[in-house]
A and B are shown apart, each in its own frame.
Chain A
Amino acid sequence: DGGITQSPKYLFRKEGQNVTLSCEQNLNHDAMYWYRQDPGQGLRLIYYSQIVNDFQKGDIAEGYSVSREKKESFPLTVTSAQKNPTAFYLCASSSPPGLRTSNEKLFFGSGTQLSVL
């Protein structure tokens, strides 16, 4: 999966519980992203980070939180405020990070399927 590792493969969340999805990359990419994919749908951007210690909300950030303390890692927490968390979550990375670039090819992990108990 292009040097991007997501874990776990499957995750179950109880009502009111926060869960954290892991994403690690060894591609030395500066930018990392989290997408959500619902069945039969495209990918929707949750959060993205261009550099360490900085991140921006995507289109559907409500109910989610992230951190970027290390270049290699971009964990996503699905909080209890996310009322419909069941989905396939995809992490991606890209390089270079510059806003002016038009070469934003993303490399994706293998995904985490989150379900609600």
Chain B
Amino acid sequence: GESVGLHLPTLSVQEGDNSIINCAYSNSASDYFIWYKQESGKGPQFIIDIRSNMDKRQGQRVTVLLNKTVKHLSLQIAATQPGDSAVYFCAENIGAQKLVFGQGTRLTINP
């Protein structure tokens, strides 16, 4: 079936540095993408989304980039803080109200 995957399962960054989390998707017909943050033992929380007619969207300290040519999605977190430690999932809308989630990347912040 369709799959949304991540290049790296874990990412460690220094506090204050910028983080970039990558995601590859396989369904070229997907028209909507979301990034979620999941802290241990909790449900995923919405971070930011982007539609396929855009290539960049910015939020507070976060930016999502979409490259439809190579089917690649990335999440950039500026000035990473300890509270950013979590697992980050990308998800794509493949239609019929179904989201396909990637495996997730664990982000660890080093002091």
Contact = CB atoms under 8 A, between A and B. Distances in A.
B43 A59 contact: no
Contacts of B103: 40-42
Interface stretch (A11-19, A43-51, A62-70, A75-83): A43-51
A7 to B, nearest CB: 13
Nearest to A90: B43
Interface residues of B, number: 28
B41 A103 contact: no
Contact of A104 (B42, B52, B99): B99
B16 interface: no
Interface of A: 1, 4, 6, 31, 35, 40-45, 48, 50, 58-59, 90, 92, 94, 97, 99, 102-111, 113
Given A42-B89, A105-B34, A106-B99, 20 more contacts: A1-B43, A4-B43, A40-B104, A42-B4, A42-B102, A43-B91, A45-B98, A50-B97, A94-B97, A99-B95, A103-B32, A104-B32, A104-B34, A104-B99, A106-B34, A107-B46, A108-B36, A109-B43, A110-B41, A111-B41
A42 B44 contact: no
A111 B96 CA distance: 24
